[in-house]
Structure 1
Amino acid sequence: MRIKEIQIKNFKRFDNLIIKGTEQSKLVALVGPNGSGKSSILEACNTWQKSKRWNIIDTTYHNKYLNIGHQIDIIFNQDLPHDYNYQKLMHFRSAHRNEADFTVEQFSKMSKPYESLKLRKIIDNDTSVSDNFKRLVGMTVSDLYNNENSEILVKDLKERLLGKLRKSMKNIFDDLILEGITNPFENGSFYFKKGKVEKFHYKNLSSGEKSAFDLLLDLVLKIEYFEDGIIFIDEPETHMHTSLQSKLIEEIYNIIPDNNQLWITTHSLGILQKIKELIACKNQDISIIDFSEQNFDEEIVLEPCNIDNIIWEKFLSFT
């Protein structure tokens, strides 16, 4: 599924905004300085989706003018049936991702990630590692007891998800290897090998390592639920060094299936440099929407821009 056009009126800082021309792109990057409105696009999509099931509207937060209701319309590259489950269409991660430590001592059946209201607003805290630990264990147990997997070795079933995650981590970090999980019923958590140190607990990772691991873990698991869906990540570069940002966005791009679409906001030099490289070899598979120097008190139409030297110098000015 791909977004073809977004139409927004009286929402956040936008009077009348249209974004179009993204239906061919697997990756859409919203770029611009702080306060330019990038995250408000994710907020608009989140509000559009969540409002189809839950009452989440806060007029003092969502509406630009309090006495006028907002309007959000999203057009896709294919028609959706009238009984379509819109909660399976989009998955969001906010920029406020931080779970410094966790242990799991008991389990209960988890609902599917699209069945519960995770983020009312994109500004909400987004702690997901502990939930995803439990989800990983639950999905692995389901694999073990699936009759269709009776001919598959137990060790291979355990590695189906952990192996994908380990491979992605290895593509980013030279000296940090995901070893596995501790007993999920006795202080369950993730452990790693870092340099010569084995059984390196999740809580000992740096902020940048945790941030990258969090996003990769979430994507490896959630892609199985949001098949043909659209993934939104607000500032994936949070807590990371420039070189790590570059590796992370390339890995995220590679692990997301071609039938999914990824939208990110960023003002990261590392991410923009990698996107520039990817555009050179992927052509129309990646779009950049420039939010800088726009007057959103007027009617604005934004379309993907080409990266020439002038545009690139402008991007560098707000990283």
Structure 2
Amino acid sequence: MELPEILHFAQTVMLTLITARGEKIGLHHFSPIRPLGCGDTGSVHLVELRGTGELYAMKAMEKSVMLNRNKVHRACIEREIISLLDHPFLPTLYTSFQTDTHVCLITDFCPGGELFALLDRQPMKILKEDSARYFWFNIFVIIDIVKQSLPSNRRRSRSQPPPLFVAEPITQSNSFVGTEEYIAPEIITGARHTSAIDWWTLGILLYEMLYGRTPFRGKNRQKTFSNILHKDLTFPSSIPASLAARQLINALLQRDPGSRLGSTTGTNDIKQHPFFRGINWPLIRNMSPPPLDVPLQFIGIDPTAKDKKWEDDGVLTSSIDLDIF
């Protein structure tokens, strides 16, 4: 058994011991260590299971915010998707519970932090091509795993999995899921969309990792959307990138979804692209990342920090009951 599997087993056992005593796992079983990040509906915290030393990440989604922004359905689907997944590239959902104010998901703690934080620390905020390829194909594999695990995909062909945007109900609104610079043209125009939107997003991601910015960024949302729909794709000559990398980006950023790489026979088209020549896909979980100009800065516990309580940060403030579970 490898070290990650041992840690996963230990964390599972510790939580199982609590439920075996007849207790219902809740916020009081965890001590807050430090905040890890925040999003549009809540925050993520590094937490410790009291008395064990075991560390987890806790995503706390604020109920009032989810109600105000119509995100309740999305939260339900997110929890369902995570609970279905079991892969070393993905964080495990160990348990979930509600407080008066929050819905909390307890998952693996990933001490390496966020990819964009790592990218921001690199010279010129770009990755060398080997590193960009490594992180990109790991994300690509994760997306493929998630797609094939979605309940709605059981009735679909493997070559035509549903888009990850399935986690957001389709409504006539001006709101969008995700960062606007990554949104595919068919989302902007309101056209019927398929899993091809995910390949567009990955094309934008690869471009940003190699060039330090997204290709269609404008001075405001309206200009960004206009660029996505009409601006020519260009590659800065000041930053070297291989022909294969530029060809892959161009193939993923076709405005016509039917012409986009991956839209016909799915992931196999992408895996066979020359950019991935030499990659042994069945063995990628055993690959080591290439060296970075600025290495990972692992997140840990500050031994000098004072003990915190949930109430100290005002995390729990109001009382709302949601039918999430």
TM-score of Structure 1 vs Structure 2, range by shorter chain:
under 0.3
Could you say which structure has the greater relative contact order, defined with CA pairs below 8 angstroms and 6 or more residues apart? 1
The structure carrying a bigger helix percent of its residues is 2
TM-score for both structures, normalised by structure 2 = 0.26
The normalised TM-score by structure 1 is 0.26
